[in-house]
Amino acid sequence: MKIRMIVTDLDNTLLRRDKTISNHTVDVFRCCRERGMLLAYATARDFRFVTDHIVSLTGFEPDVIIADNGAFAQYRGKDVYKRMIPYKTINTLISRFDLVRCVSTESAYYLSGDYSNDHWSIGKKATVIIDFSNNIEQDAFYIDGDISISPMLLTEGCSDIRAVVYSDVNLVTVVHREATKLNALTAMVNFLNIDKSNIAVFGDDYSDIEILSNYDCSIAVANAIDDCKAAAKYLCGDCDEDGVAKWLEENVL
C-alpha cells in the first residue's frame, strides 16, 4: 500500500483514553516519517493543544495540523486554511448558551471560569476571564459550552455557522459552517498535490465521518462510534491497544 500521508484524529484514536501516547506508537510514526510519509493530526482540539502538548508527548512536530474542528489548517508553519465565525454572530449566540465555556479568537481565550487544568491554559495566547456581558469584538475559531436546547435551535437564523457535538463529552461547539475536517483536509491535499489514494485517514467520532466516507484508505478504531465504523473501509484495534500504530505496521510498513 503506497501511503504518502497519514491523517489521524487525536482523542480516542491516536491518543489513549487517558490522553497519553505509547512509546510503541511514537516509534511507528517515526518510522513512517523516516520512509518519507507526512504526518497530519486532524482534531477538534485547539491548535495549541497540538503544538504545546502533543509535540511534547511525541518529541516531534507533525507536518500538518488541522485543528479547531477544521477551522484552521497549517503545513509546517504555513497557514493553508482558515474559517472564522464573525464576531457579530458570536455575540448573537452567547445568550443562547446556558454556559459559555470558551470563545477562542486569534489573540485570546475568553473564558467564563478558570479552566487552568484543561488545554486552554496552554501558552502563546492570552486567557481572559469574563462574564460575557460585554460583546466580543473579534472573529473566533469557535465558541463552546453547555446548552439545554437542541443544536439546531442554537444555530437558528445564523447561516454562517454549524454546531458540533461529541459522543464522549456533554459539550456543543459552534464553528464556521465551512470549518470541517474534510474541507480543511481537501485544501491541504490540493496545496500539497497529493493523490487521495495515497492518504490513510483514522478516526472515531462524529467529526471524522466525512473524512472516513471520502477516502478509500479510511480506518476506524475499534472504540469508534458505529457511524464511523460504517463509513470506514477498514477497522483497526482499540485506541488503548495502539490500534493505529499496529494497523500501519501491518498494512503500510
- Grid coordinates in use for 40? 497530519
Domain spanning 5-82+180-251, CATH architecture = 3-Layer(aba) Sandwich (3.40)
Angle formed at CA 224 by CA 238 and CA 176, multiple of 5 degrees: 130
Q: Where does the pLDDT of residue 120 fall: very low under 50, low under 70, confident under 90, or very high at 90 and above? A: very low
- CATH 3.30.1240.10 location in the chain: 87-176
Share of the chain above pLDDT 90, in %: 70
What does the pLDDT average to over 101-106?
Answer: 89
Q: Where does the pLDDT of residue 124 fall: very low under 50, low under 70, confident under 90, or very high at 90 and above? A: low
- CATH 3.40.50.1000 location in the chain: 5-82+180-251
Output the pLDDT for position 118: 53
What does the pLDDT average to over 194-215?
Answer: 96
Output the pLDDT for position 121: 45
Q: Lowest-pLDDT range, 28-32, 133-137, 215-219? A: 133-137
Q: Which long-range contacts (CB under 8 A, 24 or more apart) does 74-80 make?
A: 74/47, 75/188, 75/191, 75/192, 80/184, 80/187, 80/188, 80/191
| CATH code of the domain occupying 87-176 | 3.30.1240.10
Average pLDDT over the chain, rounded to whole? 90
User: What does pTM read for this prediction?
Assistant: 0.90
Q: Where does the pLDDT of residue 58 fall: very low under 50, low under 70, confident under 90, or very high at 90 and above? A: confident
Q: Lowest-pLDDT range, 49-58, 61-70, 82-91, 190-199? A: 49-58
- Grid coordinates in use for 147? 446548552
Residue 151 has pLDDT above 70, yes or no: yes
Output the pLDDT for position 133: 84
